[in-house]
Structure 1
Amino acid sequence: MKVVETGNGARVMKNGGLDPQRVSFDKIPVIDLEPMFSGDAGAKEKLAADLRKACTEVGFLYIKNHHFPADVLAATFAAAEAYFALPDEVKMKNHVSKSKNNRGYAAMLEENTDPTARGDLHESYDIALDVPADDPDVLAGKVLYGPNQWPEDAPALRAALESYHAEMLTLSGHLLHAFALALGLDEAYFDQMVDKPLATLRVLHYPPQFGEIDDRQIGIGAHSDYECFTILAQQDGISALQVLNASGEWIAADPVPGCFVVNVGDQMARWTNDLFASTVHRAINRSGRERYSIPFFFGPNYDTLVEALPSCVDEDHPAKYPPVTSGDYINGRFAATFAHYAEAQKKEAGA
């Protein structure tokens, strides 16, 4: 058995190498999000029940009929591919170390999501909610807020990512309403907690891996996500994502045309007292092709207190986790994952 440390504790996986178990797609459920747009009460009730089942039993799901513009998705994949093809010295002009709030480019092996591993075999570009440098929250030292940095050599990347981020905020609002209903809450329960969300958008490039692979150095190591939920776009026909099930077995989460992958994050697991599963996952690109993916991580405002919801605790199920603000939780997880971020935090603390 191998143990993976996450922000919510240890998870166990069986020793099974790098090959996932292949199962039919209905093992990772497909949720139709159309009722959140049509407003039909009965259809919303069914959606909420389906979503609750998916989140309690799997923690991963596909969503269809999400109303995300296909042209924005295509433009972002194209811009990402063009950007990552630039010379390393050009991309390093916007390295994340030049940003106080973890925005910009990170090179191969600079991130390490699994503390037992040797670095993740991908490169990335990160943006988040674009908050001006003179914003009161930025001036107060809430380091996850701040301005994005943009590459002068890739104007198409900025245009694509800004459009994608804006559309994802809209989609996340609909999805969060569905989560509220799935928890038996008013549809707008979380709205006041996400009017200035910690919402990070990444584009990722994974080179293919050939031959014998060291399981300590793969595309992205075993981990759980930190925020409420992640909405992931995968390229059709390129398999890499694997999900750890309750039995400690890796299940393939292959791309499904027209669908996003959604997974529960650690903050939602804390809110629900682990009723909703924050599921460990990893990516190994053995497709023989370059792989690009676009994850969007959606979490509440910096000062939102994340603690077990009243409907998720009782005498038999006391709160498992101490209350923590969203900002403090994410800061801690970033420091554990990104060496440059941890170093910047140390310098800031010693200033």
Structure 2
Amino acid sequence: MSAIKTGLGERLVSASTEAAAFKQLPIVSLARLDGSLDERKALAAEIQDAATKIGFMYISDHGVSQDVIEAAFDQAKEFFALPDDKKMRARDAESFRGYAPLKGENVDPANRGDVHEAWDMGDDSQVMKEGAEHGNMWPSAEDLPNFKPTLQKTWDEIMALGKRLFPLFALALGLDEHYFDEKLRRPGHTMRVLYYPPQYGEIDARELGIGAHTDYECFTLLLQHGDIQALQVLNAAGEWVLAPPVPGTFVLNIADMLQRMSNGLFRSTVHRAINRSGVARYSLPFFFGLDYDAEVAVLPSCVTSERPAQYEPIKAGAYVEQRLSETYIKVDPTQEAQVAA
């Protein structure tokens, strides 16, 4: 075993790059999401069970069009196939928007950089810092005329799904369905498209597709393209288990803010990705957070005399900014200028 640092303290993990099949990750159908209050409470109970025992689940019957999903991955493939200089023009390292090059991030400080490329987008009306003016960094419309409208459409559909899930989490935490409404006026959501080149032979545990980490926000919805296995989830014994793609589903995982707010009842579970498939792997995670000025504090419904509050309050934006600053590898600006020239 070895220890990694996360936003919720150190976690013990297996040092092995091997993983076993995960046979217990539940599939939760959202078919009752528009049903009666009793049906929604029953659905929330299923989510609560998975959130407290594993922190990961698949969700089906989610309503996001498969055509929209496939179009997004088609555009991702075209973007990551562009020459490096064109991708670097869609980069803003200060705003955490746009392109991140191979090994431009390092979620586990003990590692040497994550073996993937990324492109990130957010809501242009929302910024992390007061007075910031950073917006999305789109690739040239001359190179990829369909990239912006396609990714914006994908954002809109997954955003709509996420908004429908927050009331379920409120119910699962013993709260009124509308508890999160006032914390979601200008929320800190981020969507990424990721490209993982295949890794061959013996894998260096310090150079993974993405190293062991927890997500920062409330929850994540992840699309895994095709049938390529890469995602690995840490179980309660500190062992890595596979979370393979399941057609027609998102992977939903609890992130740090909900673990803090639930006083540790919901699990923000450590996970990583290693692409041994021999072909390129693409994924699309959408991270759902709160307004950056919203306070992330332990909920009264999750505190008892036997279980006092474990976490100090913190502003959502301050927490995310701290975690992002720890993750992104700073590139020499003169080198960036040379690459982008």
Q: Which residue number in structure 2 is paired with residue 11 of structure 1?
A: 11
Q: Secondary structure at the match of 2:165?
A: helix
Q: Deviations over 1:230-262 (max 9, x none)?
A: 000001210000000111011100000000000
Moved over 4 A (4+): none
Give, in angstroms, the shift of residue 321 of structure 1. Answer: 1.2
Q: Which residue number in structure 1 is paired with residue 39 of structure 2?
A: 43
Contact 1:138 1:146 in 2 (8 A): no
Identity of aligned pairs, percent? 46
Q: Which residue number in structure 2 is paired with residue 33 of structure 1?
A: 30
Relative to structure 1, the CA distance from residue 85 to residue 235 in structure 2 (aligned partners, 3 Å threshold; closer, same or farther) is same
- Residue 147 of structure 1 aligns with an amino acid whose one-letter code is G
- Residue 81 of structure 1 aligns with an amino acid whose one-letter code is K
Residues 1-351 of structure 1 aligned to structure 2 (within 5 Å): 1-15=1-15, 17-24=16-23, 27-36=24-33, 38-97=34-93, 100-131=94-125, 140-141=130-131, 143=132, 146-152=134-140, 153-340=143-330
Q: Which residue number in structure 1 is paired with residue 337 of structure 2?
A: none
- Residue 69 of structure 1 aligns with an amino acid whose one-letter code is S
Gaps of 5+ in 1: 344-351
- Residue 30 of structure 1 aligns with an amino acid whose one-letter code is I
Q: Number of matched residues?
A: 331
Q: Secondary structure at the match of 1:155?
A: coil
Give, in angstroms, the shift of residue 96 of structure 1. Answer: 2.5
Separation in 2 of the partners of 1:75 and 1:220? 24
Coordinate RMSD, CA, aligned: 1.7
Contact 2:231 2:242 in 1 (8 A): yes
Q: Secondary structure at the match of 1:4?
A: strand
Contact 2:59 2:249 in 1 (8 A): yes
Give, in angstroms, the shift of residue 341 of structure 1. Answer: 9.2
Give, in angstroms, the shift of residue 184 of structure 1. Answer: 1.6
Q: Deviations over 1:192-251 (max 9, x none)?
A: 111211000000000001111101001000000000000000012100000001110111
Separation in 2 of the partners of 1:205 and 1:186? 39
Separation in 2 of the partners of 1:342 and 1:128? 25
Separation in 1 of the partners of 2:69 and 2:124? 20
Give, in angstroms, the shift of residue 118 of structure 1. Answer: 0.5
Q: Which residue number in structure 2 is paired with residue 347 of structure 1?
A: none
Task: Please identify, of 311-320 and 146-155, the stretch whose mean Cα deviation from structure 2 is larger.
Answer: 146-155
Gaps of 5+ in 2: 334-341
Relative to structure 1, the CA distance from residue 279 to residue 169 in structure 2 (aligned partners, 3 Å threshold; closer, same or farther) is same
Q: Secondary structure at the match of 1:293?
A: strand
Separation in 1 of the partners of 2:153 and 2:36? 29
Contact 2:22 2:243 in 1 (8 A): no
Contact 2:223 2:250 in 1 (8 A): yes
Separation in 2 of the partners of 1:120 and 1:316? 40
Structure with the higher fraction of residues in helix conformation: 1
Q: Deviations over 1:76-113 (max 9, x none)?
A: 0000001100111111111223xx42111011011000
Give, in angstroms, the shift of residue 154 of structure 1. Answer: 2.0
Q: Deviations over 1:54-94 (max 9, x none)?
A: 00000000000100111111110000001100111111111
How does the TM-score come out when normalised to structure 2? 0.93
